Amino acid sequence: MATIQVFDPALCCSTGVCGVEVDQQLVSFSADVDWAKQNGAQIERFNLAQQPLAFAENPIVKGFLERSGQEALPLILVDGEVALAGRYANRVELARWAGIVQAVEPEAAKPAGGCCSGSRCC
């Protein structure tokens, strides 16, 4: 199974439920990470404010920050390679990277027009 590493920007917490305003993207991503872990995914998260050495000691992450700056975070590595930058992954992406077979795909992952896209295959 793949190892997924998430390099978050400087956050007070990883859930998005801290501070004055709730960050819905972080809430959704945290729930998706929990779901993926419950299904066997190996996911590590690193917060720039709390674990700066993890950013400095990883040459891929360090180079990314030097080129793009911390405004370009989050950065997601899968088995040490850049998989996504600038936004958080959704559940379908986490499942794909972790090799989790989903019983039912979420509606957002289905092609427009349903399973058949108008081809009368259903």
What digits encode the pLDDT tens for the residues 77-112?
999 999 999 999 999 999 999 999 875 455 554 455
The first and second tokens of residue 79, run together, are: 């088995």
Question: What does the pLDDT read at residue 122?
Answer: 45
Alpha carbon separation from 112 to 27, 35, 36, 63, 90 (Å, rounded):
26, 25, 25, 38, 18
Instruction: Assess whether pLDDT exceeds 70 at residue 45.
Output: yes
Tell me the percentage of the chain whose pLDDT exceeds 70: 77
| pLDDT top residue among 14 and 84 | 84
Average pLDDT, the chain: 85
Contact 75, 7 (CB under 8 A): yes
Query: What's residue 20's pLDDT?
Result: 66
